[in-house]
Structure 1
Amino acid sequence: MARYVIGDVHGCAKALRSLLAALQLGSDDEVIFLGDYVDRGPNSRGVVEQLIDLGQRSRVIALRGNHEIMLQAVAVHGMDDSVWLRSGGKATVVSYGGSITKIPSAHFDFFHALQRYHETEREIFVHAMYDPQLGIDDQNDELTYWTHLPQPLPIAHTSGKRVYVGHTPQPRGEVLWRPHLVGVDTYCFGGGYLSAVDLETGATTQADRHGHIRRVPIERALHALARWGKWLRGS
């Protein structure tokens, strides 16, 4: 069984389609998505449709991002849409035919079923950030959904588990690698890539917004970790 984590998609349906095809997922394979499926990119509807379809063929664990929170706040709870539209929601509305009333009920079912976090024996997955001293179930929603990674980066989680996050775009399109923390939002909608990290090997498969694939060997991640270690030692 292969296991992958995929960062923020943000409406990049073409990138997602190419990435999933490159992974060649089977029924026993597992993919963990870190949230922010909608907004900013050109085809949020197409992204959600692919995720629903993938869930029928492979094991999918889909987390909630802050952009899904905004969409649901407007479409379900009738909140003012000005902040959401300024944050990329206009592209989502266009992808659904110009009105949020055209969002299919199956898509709302998908949004409603999204998870706040996912935890395994070795890993923690959240959309945005975490408090290193608190159990993952006790995290503040402001951190879980809205807070970008600070500088300096947060320390290791008290559980000792590696934390995988999205939300903070990596402007060079490269996965952020640290021994305790991996940032998988590689800025697809802004000219970077949509990234899938193999959780067993660390090898990364990426697709740009046009659907072009590139594969990043684990050696690049190891090099990033080595550079970080040298920086910590002040050498």
Structure 2
Amino acid sequence: MKRTLVIGDIHGGLRALVQLLERVEITENDKIVFLGDYVDGWSESAQVIDFLIQWSQKQDCIFIRGNHDVWCHEWLMNDVINDIWFLHGGKSTIESYQNMDPLRKEKHLEFFANMKDYVVDEHQNLFIHAGFSSMHGPEKEHYATNFSWDRTLWEMALTMDRRITKDSLSYPKRLLLFNEIYIGHTPTLHYNIDIPMQGCNVWNIDTGAGFYGKLTCLDTATKAFWQSDIVQNLYPTEKGRNK
């Protein structure tokens, strides 16, 4: 049976990713959607990209672009360090890229360039790193940065009054456009929760792997999910994105 599996923000935690994939018991029939933020945090950002490039050659994968991936891609292209990025995980990413040969760098640049801002599947499910603001959908979005930065979609879905029905004029038009929406970007740890969260038809799969949480994979059909160990325990001498 073919599954569509969605994986949250990795943030350089290759050990957590490998552990998680083993626990999910991936088959060649599965489609894997990665929700972005592959880099910045733990010490193996460049190695995560190496792994994903190689793994995608034998597995059906979709790679969504996250805000940290945008920062990293800009640095790889221009060799200019964004100060905000440097303080939010970029330092560890730069260190992971030390002594990289030109051919390997070119493969990484191609990988970053080919990431998707968002994908809509055959079931009218949207996969996007953060969100969108247009009531007409992401294809009508005026500001492409919203795909990797917006938090209003999640905040709206999370705080919706459950008494408002879908046929009400008050129901958010953005939520009616899709069957389900899968996002990362905002760690569920912000709500003292370490498993996937649901608000209306929006599912948040970022369970804080870049901080003191776990990396998560969720089956979109059954909502079964798997998790790595706490990532910090897999990198005991590091802080990740923890302050």
Q: TM-score, normalised by structure 1?
A: 0.82
Query: What's the counterpart of residue 75 of structure 1?
Result: 76
Change in 2 beyond 3 A, CA 1:80/1:54: closer
Whether the 8 Å contact between 1:64 and 1:116 is mirrored in structure 2 is: yes
| Distance of 2:201 and 2:18 partners within structure 1 | 30
1:60 aligned to 2:81? no
In the alignment, structure 2 segments of 5+ residues that lack a partner are 159-171, 235-243
193, 203, 206: which one aligns with 2:224: 203
Aligned match of 1:147 in 128, 147, 150? 150
Contact 2:185–2:206 (CA under 8 A) maintained in structure 1: yes
Does the CA contact (< 8 Å) of 1:63 and 1:115 recur in 2?
yes
What is the CA distance between 1:58 and its match in structure 2?
1.1
Distance 1:131 1:9 in 2: 25
Aligned-pair identity (%): 27
- Structure 1 runs of 4+ off > 4 angstroms? 98-103
**Alpha-carbon contact 2:126-2:178 (below 8 Å) kept:** no
2:165 is aligned with 1:164: no
User: Deviation at 1:33?
Assistant: 0.4
| Cα shift at 1:195 | 0.6
Distance 1:47 1:71 in 2: 13
1:5 shift after superposition: 0.4
Matches within 5 A, 1:175-190: 175-190=196-211
Partner of 1:30: 31
SS state at 1:153 partner: helix
User: Whole-Å Cα distance in 2 between the matches of residues 101 and 67 of structure 1?
Assistant: 22
C-alpha offsets along residues 113-139 of structure 1, whole Å, 9 cap, x if unaligned? 101101013300111122361222122
- Check the 8 A contact 2:76/2:109 in 1, yes or no: no
Q: Which one-letter code corresponds to 1:125 in the other structure?
A: F
Partners of 1:70 and 1:93 lie apart in 2 by 11
1:214 maps to what in 2?
none
Distance 1:68 1:118, change over 3 A: same
Unaligned residue ranges in structure 1 (runs of 5+): 212-235
Q: Distance in 2 between matches of 1:175 and 1:115?
A: 22
Q: CA RMSD in A?
A: 2.2
How far residue 74 of structure 1 moved from its aligned partner, in angstroms, is: 2.0
User: C-alpha distance in 1, partners of 2:157/2:134?
Assistant: 11
- Counterpart residue number, 1:192: 213
155-164 or 68-77: which moved more?
155-164
Give the structure 1 partner of residue 91 of structure 2.
Answer: 90
Partner residue of 1:173? 194
Instruction: Give the count of matched residue pairs.
Output: 211
Structure 2 CA distance for partners of 1:20 and 1:193, relative to 1, 3 Å = same
Structure 1 window deviating more from structure 2 (13-22 vs 69-78): it is 69-78
CA pair 88-102 structure 1, distance change in 2 beyond 3 A: farther
CA distance in 2, matches of 1:45, 1:74: 13
Q: CA deviation at 1:78?
A: 4.4
1:180 positional shift: 0.9
1:10/1:40 contact within 8 Å kept: yes
Distance in 2 (CA, whole Å) between partners of 1:99 and 1:26 is 32
Distance 1:185 1:19 in 2: 14
Residue type at the aligned position of 1:129: G
TM-score (norm 2): 0.79
Q: Kindly provide the amino acid, as one letter, of the partner of residue 141 in structure 1.
A: A
Measure how far apart 1:16 and its partner are: 0.1
Deviation at 1:90, TM superposition (A): 0.4
- Whether 1:20 and 2:21 are equivalent positions in the alignment is yes
